[in-house]
Structure 1
Amino acid sequence: MMTWQLKLFSQLSTMQLYQLLKLRVDVFVVEQKCPYPELDGKDHLQDVYHLLGYQGDTLIACARLLPKGVSYPSVSIGRVAIAKGHRGGGLGHLLVQEALGACDQLWPKESIEIGAQEHLSKFYQQHGFIATSAMYLEDDIPHIDMKLEK
């Protein structure tokens, strides 16, 4: 059974912070073989929230919710990750639904932008996102900007 927590950086325990950073590094740096600056200075900014998805005491899903003007002119969702052993059963869709619901609570009626890995564009289209850019390389991985209009 999944439990969800939505926290500001200052509300994260040291264990939660460790688990969050480990999950993100495991997925984005190790698994995708992409050395990049995971610690980008945005995690601790004002009004940046971290959505944590737990199975028991184990963090298996996460996303970062950012207010307007931090990554995009609109509200944005980033650092969306699912632990490798927990993919393929719909958890990604559940995570995006939770993230969209949290954004609606935090920033009602605000459009949401994302920088999606290009191979996931159809996944995000299922949640109402539309492409707003051509493909571009970010850290040598094809990405595309997408937006969910409100």
Structure 2
Amino acid sequence: MNISIRRFNELDTSELYAILQLRSEVFVVEQDCVYQDLDGKDTKAVHVIGNKNGEIVAYTRVFAPGDYFAEASIGRVVVKQGQRKYGYGKVIMEASIKAIEEEFGTTNIRISAQTYLLKFYNSLGFKAEGSEYLEDGIPHVSMVKK
């Protein structure tokens, strides 16, 4: 899988369409969650894209400190269902952490993690903070990496 980093204005329409399609495929259809994915935040984000054989199979969006949380943040972490067995979740997250370090000069990162992924995010150095809460009807927990 090849990783590319793009600001919103650097995405072409085909890339943007593929990103939105992947997010909808996983977050809306697979997870059966009706929510507003197009939240107006994509224009501020740096987009971390995992491409394999011409197809976007993994993706995150990262934010500078103060854009979403006080800390830098990573969101919309997604890997295409048929590609999860290859460890692309870890690859895209490591690329996202590196992008935050390079783009924003910080290692202090906050995420809103789906609770069932706690072990995965712990393995990347994130620690849970606070109580579990519902976000779009799905249990989440706030996590920080310093």
Please say whether Structure 1 and Structure 2 have the same fold, judged by a TM-score greater than 0.5: yes
Rounded to whole Å, the distance in 1 between the matches of 2:67 and 2:30 is 27
Moved over 2 A (4+): none
Task: Give the match's secondary structure for 2:68.
Answer: coil
Q: Which runs of 5+ in 2 are unaligned?
A: none
TM-score normalised by L of structure 2: 0.97
Higher share of residues assigned helix? 2
Aligned to 2:125: 128
Aligned to 1:93: 90
Aligned residues: 146
Rounded to whole Å, the distance in 2 between the matches of 1:121 and 1:11 is 32
Deviations 1:65-122 (CA, angstroms, capped at 9, x unpaired): 0111122110000000000100122111111111111111112234000000000011
Aligned to 1:51: 48
Task: Give the match's secondary structure for 1:73.
Answer: coil
Task: Give the match's secondary structure for 1:54.
Answer: strand
Alignment counterpart, residue 107 of structure 1, candidates 104, 108, 124? 104
Rounded to whole Å, the distance in 2 between the matches of 1:51 and 1:109 is 17
Q: What are the residue-to-residue correspondences of 1:133-148 with 2, within 5 Å?
A: 133-148=130-145
Whether the 8 Å CA contact 2:2–2:52 is kept in 1: the answer is: yes
Task: Give the match's secondary structure for 1:128.
Answer: coil
